[in-house]
Structure 1
Amino acid sequence: MPDRRVSLEAWLTRQWQQVGLYTALTWPLHALMKALVAWRRVLYRRGALRATALPVPVVVVGNRIAGGAGKTPTTLALLEHLKAQGWHPGLLTRGHGGTASRSPDALVLDANSAPGLNAGITGDEPWLLWQRTGVPVAVCAQRARGGRALLARHPELDVLVCDDGLQHLALARDLEIVVFDERGAGNGCLLPAGPLREPLSSPSGARDGQPPLVLYNAERATTALPGHLAQRQLRQPLPWARWREGGTDGHNALTLAPSDTHAETTWAAAGIAQPERFFRALQALGHRFQPLPLPDHAELEPLPWPPEARHVILTEKDAVKLSPEALARHSPHTQVWVCPLDFSPEPAFWQALDARLAPHHPGRKRTT
């Protein structure tokens, strides 16, 4: 039976991509939201509400629209790029879906604390980013508080990346990265009449007033905003146990052959904002399966697939939540696979990013 939450999200997504009866009925709410968003920005601009500045540069990655548009793969690519450029980055995140997000105190995820934590505590996205990059992470709804805690624990950090913090104006930022996917701005309306969290033309929140860097997680630009393109490619599924140990390099590794997948014995589960995108990419790789769409950040306890499943294919975001104990108990004969995602912004994006960050550390090496 389809999950009702998934069905409602799919219905809303369709309504937000068009101007119709739903738009007309909810337009007053769009107007109200637009006024509230504008007034909030005025309060910050006039100093009635204050943004906290941290002692190192802050890069914020976020969406103008609701739902995932590619923030996590963008953040992952950004952290790896900063490390390659000689920076020592840290990550700030709310940790949506994890128990730590409900605490006013910051939780620091690093090599020392990781043995006592898991994705259920930190949230799936922070745990995935930590596992893939090894970058210290602070989980806290108040990002500035998380930043202070992270810098106190790791004074070597010289840049902080804030994941999904575009509308969190309480944290001062030096650079904003706005990610769009093929949905663009939808019908152009604000929630709940449309997908926008704030107007497409919202002023920059960067301290120097420079406009955000716009990245399109799509084959072409999907709004009128100038920006850069990113390519994404799903790899063939790797064994979950190998992936869990840090083995994301698919070269010369065992992968699940498309000829071994069949709709009668194979399930693909996706608890992400757009499950259908994962399913289409998996089909493009030649796999046949029963799609199992789950709500974004859905837990995997109990396991949502039948115990007789021969193969189960997961996204990386879901794989971090899978418990070996639950798998052994519920599906001991099921082989679980994970599809790593390669996400590559075009070189011009990195050049623009490096140029914007260079004034903060003029001695840093830059790409050519």
Structure 2
Amino acid sequence: MNAPAKPHTHGPHYWFDEGSPVPLHARVLAALYGGMTGLRRGLYERKLLRRSHPGVPVIVVGNLIAGGAGKTPLTVALVERLRSEGWTPGVASRGYGRDGDDPLWVEADTPVAKSGDEPLLVARQTGARVRVDRNRAAAARALVGEGCDVVVCDDGLQHYRLARDVEIEVIDGRRRYGNGLLLPAGPLREPTWRGAQCDFRVVNSGGNAAPETGFGEWPMRLVCDRALPLAGGRPRALESFAGHRVHAVAGIGDPERFFAMLRALDIAVVPHAFPDHHRYRASDFEFGSRLPVLMTEKDAVKCAEFVDPSHYSVPVRAELTEAFWISLLDRLDGRSQTAGAVT
């Protein structure tokens, strides 16, 4: 089996390489960034900037580091569990990387260039109402107007304009907070203490194994067991690729997480890492060898125009302990009666 590739972090090497020196200019810019974000956060805390609440419970899913940590699988799991408990959830998202800024309802057949990859993936997997808007507070109000009685905000931890009832921080169990510094000296959007303010801290293992968790953290496993042919046809058991070489494609915040999940199943991975939210072209798949191509669902929604029978999407599902769901639902029930207040 091929040796594991070096993790592709889509950031400077010193973000996640312990002991690597951080350039002075990056530290200076990080101090300026921290001052500006801290000022903005303080204005909202002192109510000098107004937050908007849609009148129904709001669950915000987010992370502190730049790049992916597993927010979208958790968002899908939240929608499905809430629906099974009798709620009518809707999803608000910025729609990062899409063309234009006009608010948009995302349906299963919405062009990915208009919706963004993550909102389209959520809409296809859940069938829930999904609204993309740079103003997440406006998106939440639109969802309530469509009959949603709980709003799940995908990647909205730093969008303070939207008042929230429950905050969930998603932590990459492998990378954690990197060097612990703010952008651009490190990967952090906010200081690490911000995570302690969240109602729940969920640690993503990045694979079928349970992650190591600390005090006050909840484990989340991303389980993958199928490969779906993008050209149509019957699903294939992912374990059927064990012992064989495949091209693995990932344009997510941490591509190595996907590659490691496949290697854990004894699949010989030829890794191809692309930037997060990469827009694929047919030439991106000219690898020089005819091997099966396995890619994340987030990548697959952008490749419909040039797939062939050798291309597969690997869906993942987030699994959390029943204790987590009980705690979340209790918190949600306790706040549903007071969610109409505007702060």
Smaller-chain TM-score bracket: 0.7 to 0.9
Write out per-residue CA displacement over residues 100-138 of structure 1, whole angstroms, 9 at most, x where no aligned residue. Answer: xx32x320124xxx44x2222101100111111001100
Task: Find the aligned partners of 2:118 and 2:75 in 1 and give their Cα distance.
Answer: 10
Q: Does 1:279 align with 2:279?
A: no
The amino acid that maps onto 1:106 is P
Q: Against the structure 1 CA distance between its residues 280 and 16, is the aligned structure 2 distance closer, same or farther, given a 3 Å change threshold?
A: closer
Q: Which residue of 1 aligns with 2:78?
A: 78
Aligned residues of 2:59 and 2:152 also touching (Cα < 8 A): yes
Aligned residues of 1:59 and 1:162 also touching (Cα < 8 A): yes
The amino acid that maps onto 1:232 is L
Q: Against the structure 1 CA distance between its residues 287 and 19, is the aligned structure 2 distance closer, same or farther, given a 3 Å change threshold?
A: closer
Note the aligned Cα RMSD (angstroms).
2.5
Aligned residues of 2:165 and 2:335 also touching (Cα < 8 A): no
Equivalent residues in 2 for 1:189-228 (5 A)? 189-202=181-194, 211-218=198-205, 219-221=211-213, 226-228=216-218
Q: Which residue of 2 aligns with 1:47?
A: 47
Task: Find the aligned partners of 1:83 and 1:203 in 2 and give their Cα distance.
Answer: 27
Task: Find the aligned partners of 1:47 and 1:129 in 2 and give their Cα distance.
Answer: 33
Task: Find the aligned partners of 1:278 and 1:242 in 2 and give their Cα distance.
Answer: 23
- TM-aligned CA deviation for residue 280 of structure 1: 1.6
Q: Which residue of 2 aligns with 1:232?
A: 222
Q: Against the structure 1 CA distance between its residues 64 and 13, is the aligned structure 2 distance closer, same or farther, given a 3 Å change threshold?
A: farther
Write out per-residue CA displacement over residues 162-191 of structure 1, whole angstroms, 9 at most, x where no aligned residue. Answer: 000000001111110001012222222111
Task: Find the aligned partners of 2:229 and 2:195 in 1 and give their Cα distance.
Answer: 45
Task: Find the aligned partners of 1:7 and 1:300 in 2 and give their Cα distance.
Answer: 21
Match of 2:302 among 287, 311, 321: 321
Q: Which residue of 1 aligns with 2:3?
A: none
Write out per-residue CA displacement over residues 316-349 of structure 1, whole angstroms, 9 at most, x where no aligned residue. Answer: 11111112x433xxxx5x4211111121112221
Q: Does 1:107 align with 2:104?
A: yes
Equivalent residues in 2 for 1:110-189 (5 A)? 110=107, 114-115=108-109, 117-152=110-145, 154=146, 156-181=147-172, 182-189=174-181
- 1:34 is paired with a residue whose SS is helix
- 2:194 is paired with a residue whose SS is coil
Task: Find the aligned partners of 1:17 and 1:180 in 2 and give their Cα distance.
Answer: 18
TM-score normalised by L of structure 2: 0.86
- TM-aligned CA deviation for residue 20 of structure 1: 3.9
- TM-aligned CA deviation for residue 313 of structure 1: 1.0
Q: Against the structure 1 CA distance between its residues 322 and 21, is the aligned structure 2 distance closer, same or farther, given a 3 Å change threshold?
A: same
Q: Against the structure 1 CA distance between its residues 289 and 359, is the aligned structure 2 distance closer, same or farther, given a 3 Å change threshold?
A: closer
Amino-acid identity (%) = 39
Equivalent residues in 2 for 1:254-265 (5 A)? 254-255=236-237, 257-258=240-241, 261-262=244-245
Task: Find the aligned partners of 2:236 and 2:9 in 1 and give their Cα distance.
Answer: 36
Q: Which residue of 2 aligns with 1:312?
A: 293
Task: Find the aligned partners of 2:83 and 2:127 in 1 and give their Cα distance.
Answer: 11
Q: Which residue of 2 aligns with 1:92?
A: 92
- 2:282 is paired with a residue whose SS is coil
Write out per-residue CA displacement over residues 222-254 of structure 1, whole angstroms, 9 at most, x where no aligned residue. Answer: xx66211112222242322458xxx8xxxxx53
The amino acid that maps onto 2:105 is V
The amino acid that maps onto 2:322 is P
- TM-aligned CA deviation for residue 294 of structure 1: 0.9
The amino acid that maps onto 2:121 is L
- 1:353 is paired with a residue whose SS is helix
Aligned residues of 2:255 and 2:273 also touching (Cα < 8 A): yes
Q: Against the structure 1 CA distance between its residues 14 and 232, is the aligned structure 2 distance closer, same or farther, given a 3 Å change threshold?
A: farther
Aligned residues of 2:226 and 2:236 also touching (Cα < 8 A): no
Task: Find the aligned partners of 1:27 and 1:19 in 2 and give their Cα distance.
Answer: 15
Q: Against the structure 1 CA distance between its residues 306 and 211, is the aligned structure 2 distance closer, same or farther, given a 3 Å change threshold?
A: closer
The amino acid that maps onto 2:155 is D
Aligned residues of 1:151 and 1:157 also touching (Cα < 8 A): yes
